[in-house]
Amino acid sequence: MKIGFIGLGIMGKPMVKNLLKANYEVLAYDILKENIDQVVQAGAVGATSAKEVAQQCELIITMLPNGLEVKEVVCGVNGILEGAKQGSIIVDMSSIAPGVAQEIHKLCKEKGINMLDAPVSGGEPKAIEGTLSIMIGGDEAIFNKVYDILLAMGASAVLCGDIGAGNTTKLANQIIVALNIVAVSEAFTLSARAGVDPNKVFDAIKGGLAGSTVMNAKVPMMLEGNFNPGFKIDLHIKDLRNALDTAHEIGSPLPFTAQAMEIMQNLHANGYGQNDHSAIVKYYETLTGTKLSEA
């Protein structure tokens, strides 16, 4: 089966490579030619537009920065809807606002095109490993058709409800991740300022109730002073903006999420937006004058 894949950034490139490892044929497109060239070297075929991808593939996966880009790729000039045949399936694996996913789905449905929203969690490391957590919204029959393909890129793929449910689940995920990193940053800065070796604190608590996947992934980066992006602060700002906008629309208060957003906005304003979101610790290091790492 030939799979179309549009969006070859930090996440998209390794996802394509995992599809190729699973022996799927992939026709890939990105606005940056160098990104296309990299996946072509891995065995994919390059395309010149989203329309061309849709003309040749009945399954088209998109992995794009935000809702505006997804709408343009799906509905714009030389977009997917200009080339897709009736009955084709779009699986949007971008993280966008649930309402935007529902809007795009409506436009697809009018043209006889199926759509799932299927954002992922795990960042670049799990994209490379092929162990992403995939959260899906849409029709169960369509989900069943693409389930095995999704598992070429992820360790799990869970249908969470109707269209938009995947991105609602992702927003919940991103709130939990953001607040976990904030809490970890506060706690380890406190430890360091009190004169206790944060490496020892990590060893002592990581196996207890305070331990988490987020702590295990991000604290070592903080202790090393390594903020190379697996998931950028600017992208997390985008996700929290979508969470806050969605919450305002439905009347669900997110006071701690708003505080995490302000911390990330401060870091963005100070030039750290392209750092990994573990760089939230820099906010606390600046406040206290205490660094976790000598790097």
Question: How does pLDDT run across 59-94, given as a tens digit for each residue?
Answer: 999 999 999 999 999 999 999 999 999 999 999 999
Q: Which helix H or strand E contains 86, and what residues bound it?
A: none
Beta strand ranges found along 138-289 (DSSP E):
154-161
pLDDT in tens, 170-228: 999 999 999 999 999 999 999 999 999 999 999 999 999 999 999 999 999 999 999 99
Contact assessment for residue 202 and residue 281, using Cβ atoms and an 8 Å cutoff: no
Tokens of 88: 């084709």
pLDDT in tens, 80-129: 999 999 999 999 999 999 999 999 999 999 999 999 999 999 989 899 99
Identity of the amino acid at 128:
I
pLDDT at 295 over 70: no
Exactly one of 13, 17, 170, 218 is catalytic; name it.
170
Q: Rounded to an integer, what distance in angstroms lies between the CA atom of residue 39 and that of residue 33?
A: 10
- Give, for 37, the enclosing helix (H) or strand (E): helix 33-41
Spell out the domain ranges in the chain. Answer: 2-163, 168-288
Closest CA to 101 of 84, 118, 121, 82: 118
User: Which superfamily does 2-163 belong to?
Assistant: NAD(P)-binding Rossmann-like Domain (3.40.50.720)
Say what the pTM is: 0.92
Among 125, 210, 222, 117, smallest CA distance to 170 is for 117
pLDDT confidence bin for 134, thresholds 50/70/90:
very high
Active site residue 145: no
Q: What is the CATH number of domain 168-288?
A: 1.10.1040.10
